[in-house]
Structure 1
């Protein structure tokens, strides 16, 4: 595999993990938000989805973002009768964001990002050694 193919594959992984980290950061930022109106819906957790895709130019398999979907799980309810967003029974719907899950997902995305950076560095290093040998 040549340098351009390996860097292109790793670059697609970097883009995918970067997007994933941005979506996770958005989820974490909205984990404690509530609806603006009584009985309204709060922030819905979002999840980035990916798929493997054949790059016809390089012949390698890259990562393609298929979209960002909302998590369809139910909203937890919290008893907060003084909250302006509370319904008639005093309950407020809270976002379906679990900060522990988001933190673990963020760590996994960071590790994947680092692995792609290391792959690019390794390819660059091998190319530099090859050039040095040819001198």
Structure 2
């Protein structure tokens, strides 16, 4: 039963990490038109407990993308400089949608693993009861 619980724990950590990743992607999409907004990026880190690798993952440190901000020409904008330009965001919606789709599919894969493990555990208990 220990293998079942560790597998469930691994799948749950993957689902949690992907849901946090999706949260950052949705924040990026929501702020795509916010002047001066820098895209948030995060990487995954392996969880280490007692000096041992567990196989679990967590979302690592959130960084701001240092890619140059888009310069937008709009002389009537309140943030425009003397030349009529202001800094937009560095969010690329195509990249964000691709990241969202990848996070969704990874979440679903972890969910399937979780469900299959739970079903196998339930089936094993049914067999042992006979």
Q: What TM-score results when the alignment is normalised by the length of structure 1?
A: 0.88
The residue that corresponds to 1:107 in the other structure is 101
8 Å Cα contact 1:55-1:61 kept in structure 2: no
Structural mapping, 1:52-63, within 5 Å? 52-56=46-50, 60-63=54-57
| Change in CA separation of 1:14 and 1:58 when aligned onto 2, cut-off 3 Å | farther
The residue that corresponds to 2:85 in the other structure is 91
Structural mapping, 1:19-30, within 5 Å? 19-30=20-31
The residue that corresponds to 2:112 in the other structure is 118
- 2:67 aligned to 65, 73, 76, which one? 73
SS in 2 for 1:65: strand
- 1:49 aligned to 30, 34, 43, which one? 43
Deviation, 1:45, is 0.5
| Change in CA separation of 1:59 and 1:74 when aligned onto 2, cut-off 3 Å | closer
8 Å Cα contact 2:46-2:53 kept in structure 1: no
1:22-70 deviation digits (Å, cap 9, x = unpaired): 0000000000112xxxxxxx11110122122344499631102221110
Q: What TM-score results when the alignment is normalised by the length of structure 2?
A: 0.91
**What is the rounded CA distance, in whole Å, between the counterparts of 2:58 and 2:73 in structure 1?**
42
Q: Which runs of 5+ in 2 are unaligned?
A: none
SS in 1 for 2:112: helix
Higher helix share: 2
Q: Give the count of matched residue pairs.
A: 128
- 1:131 aligned to 119, 125, 128, which one? 125
Q: Which runs of 5+ in 1 are unaligned?
A: 35-41
The residue that corresponds to 2:14 in the other structure is 13
